Amino acid sequence: MAKIVIDKELITGIAAQSNQDFYNSVEKKVSNILSAAIERLGKQVPYISVNNVILQPFNEVLSGAVTDNSIFYYLLGIDNSQLELNTIKTNMFWYNLKKRLKIAWDSRKKHRKRKKKKDEKSLVSQVDFDASKYNIFNLTRDLFETIRFYISQTSIISMEDNFLYLVGKDDFGNNTQIKIEICFCNRDYFKFFEGKKKLRQYNFSCRVECLREKKREAGANFVKMLKIFNVLYYQANHEMPNAMFLESVLYNVPDKLYEDRNIYETFIKIVNYLNLKSINNFNSVNDLNLKLYQDKMLGYNQQVGFLKMLKMIADNK
């Protein structure tokens, strides 16, 4: 990756990017596709319906700090205790396979030549519902098969374990990637897999409140700074940062440092502040009682990547 020049033009250019309309259109399209697929699948699988699922943005999509390298990452939470119990009882069988199931399906014209009645018959034959054994991996597979009826000919859908991946310029826009993790939810909690067997619970309430508070107190420059650091972190590490980690870092930056109307000056002030601080002592937006190093949700080696980014910025001066 070619070295970038971090100057006023770059920083103001990133901050000026307005992608809210695009973000809204992608979210609406994803929601519509899933709603149609779930409604159709629900006729065969009583464990899922539009009334017991929640589509929740998980990464920087939640804050609105989406950049060109962002993946639209959502959790699809399903509130069904029997489905959860069945999945736990399987002892994560799919994780114990020597090779994880990988399916890729390209919806070309040959798939579109089927008549509607034949399509519906094919869908019914693909669903093998056993109330005592049907688990989240079965559901992911069946949802995968159902979604293909609602995406365009040029779109691609793939599946791995309990994840679905969608890409298609006609449906979502150029270079737009959709990642959907099928998981469980119960009231305020989402439950998803950590390792082979363990289910981790996650409550969005603290994070959402922290983001709302910071946007209110620090103003629009907070989200602009999230975008700027997302881009620079990617340039320094060739991958996007953990969104919760970056949100935590910038949440702990004093509100007054965001007040400058000149976003480049704001950027310089915040970079200087962060160079003088130990971010290890910052609090996590997931739980303000936890420090960054204590919160496992923030990912591994994020601080190393962040310091690498700060060094890249310093080397550009």
Please tell me the pTM assigned to this model. 0.86
Give the CA angle between residues 134, 138, 141 to the nearest 5°.
160
Report the distance separating Cα 97 and Cα 61, nearest Å: 33
The CATH number for 76's domain is: 3.30.460
Asked if the structure places residue 123 within a domain, the reply is yes
Statement to judge: residues 171 and 289 lie in one domain: no
Residues 83 and 163 in one domain: yes
User: What domain range is 309 assigned to?
Assistant: 206-315
Examine the domain organization and report whether 237 and 250 are in the same domain.
Answer: yes
The answer to the question of residue 217 being in a domain is yes
**99 & 216 share domain:** no
If asked whether residues 243 and 197 sit together in one domain, one would say: no
Condensed to tens digits (0 to 9), the pLDDT of residues 238-268 reads 999 999 999 999 999 999 999 988 999 999 9
Amino acid identity for residue 117 in this structure: K
Domain end position, chosen among 178, 203, 228: 203
Total structural domains in the chain?
2
Domain assignment present for residue 111? The answer is yes
Same domain, yes or no: 197 and 229: no
Fill in the amino acid letter for 72: F
The rounded mean pLDDT for the chain is 87
| Structure confidence at residue 128 (pLDDT) | 79
Both 181 and 211 in a single domain? no
Q: Is residue 87 part of a domain?
A: yes
The pLDDT assigned to 92 comes to 52
- 233 burial via Cβ count (<10 Å: 0-12, 13-18, 19+): buried
Same domain for 224 and 140: no
Q: Residue 124: its pLDDT value, please?
A: 44
Segments in the chain below pLDDT 50: 94-95, 98-99, 108-118, 120-121, 123-125
Among 148, 176, 203, give the residue marking a domain's end: 203
Domain final position from 203, 236, 269 = 203
Together in a domain, 254 and 188 = no
Same domain, 27 and 95: yes
